[in-house]
Amino acid sequence: MLDRIAGFIAAEPVRVTAVLRLPLIALIAVLVWTWDVDHWLPGMYEVVLGVYAAAAVLWLVVVLRGPVPRWADWTSTAFDVLVVVELCLVSGGATAALLPVFFLLPIAVAFQDRPMLTAILGTGTALCYLGVWIVYSKRDDTVGMPDIVYTHFGFLLWAAAATTALCLVLVRRRARVLKLQEVRRQLVSEAMQADERHNREVAEHLHDGPLQTLLAARLDLDEIRERSDDPALESVHAALQQTAAALRSTVTELHPQVLAQLGLTPAVQELLRQFQTRGDYTVEADLEDVGKPESQQLLYRAARELLANIHKHARATTVQVGLKRHGDRVVLTIVDDGKGFDRATVESYVADGHIGLGSLLARFDAMGGSMVIDSAIGRGTQVTATSPPEPVA
């Protein structure tokens, strides 16, 4: 949740203002076209407003398609101020109708995380409002400068100060969220490393201790079997074989050597090989060599847990697995044609103590990655696990 809040604060302001700009333009049209005044240049006014609306729609498409430069935030708002001033200059007496717009513009700037820029644009908006009234009063000697304009100017300055203060609050809260996010990521990372160290120690203890003792006992039993025809020895030998295989499987699960030595892709290939031996599955794999990413333990756990869930619950016949690099992230995708499930039940599974999938979701979220589950009863499941940002080699 902290990652989502921080991501929204960091990446969404320009999108928020782009969306809010469209209803603002509609309000401008309604305010002026219903205001009972003579327009100075009505044809030019309509042209400016039409170009403004078209540019706003085009800009919304641009920001929704992908990231935009940082300067685009304040540039788009400065453009808003200039267009509104131009509308006022060509609208004559309709300038009074546009007063609410001058109050709304600084609020849009406050979504950004730069208080100084908010103060500059807010103050500039107030000065622009005063300036267009001065131009209008000089053009038409019968109007003069209404005293209420100075009051409006004072309110606009107050709005600039208020939005600047709001921006300061948002910046400080964003800093707190980012700090908490980093602390959480460090804690989860340390917990995972401690878990991995513990698993490695347990695996080494089992491999060097009980497993070796068991294998030595099996060798001794083989020698006894060569000198004896007692049928009871066969059942003992079979039990030792099964126990040794179970111990090897446990050691591999606790600390997969193929992951540590060869990397994530061979480890996932080994998981798929083991998965196919458990049932009659058709496995379609598209695995790119991604090397040894820093988050390979997390992705490996995800692959192991998801394949285990498919075997236990999905009743699937076909499983598709993909592993690729996308920029600075590694993406694991697992799709099955099983019975599917209700996504909302994941929370109830966690509440009931079945924390496998819920634990993965929490780990990916805390580490700065993501896990997206797309499933519905009767149409299978697709899970896309995306790693935290990886250092680019």
- Domains by residue range for the chain, with CATH: 2-184 (no CATH), 259-386 (3.30.565.10)
Burial letters 150-181, b for 16+ CB under 10 A, else e: eebbeebbebbeebbebbbebbeebeebbeeb
- pLDDT, tens only, 232-269: 788 888 888 888 878 877 776 666 777 878 889 999 99
Reported pTM? 0.56
Where the chain has pLDDT below 50, the residues are 1-11, 37, 353-354
pLDDT at 363: 82
pLDDT at 80: 79
pLDDT at 61: 87
Q: Where are the alpha helices (DSSP H) in the chain?
A: 2-11, 13-33, 42-65, 71-91, 99-109, 115-139, 147-206, 212-227, 232-254, 257-262, 264-277, 296-309, 345-351, 356-367
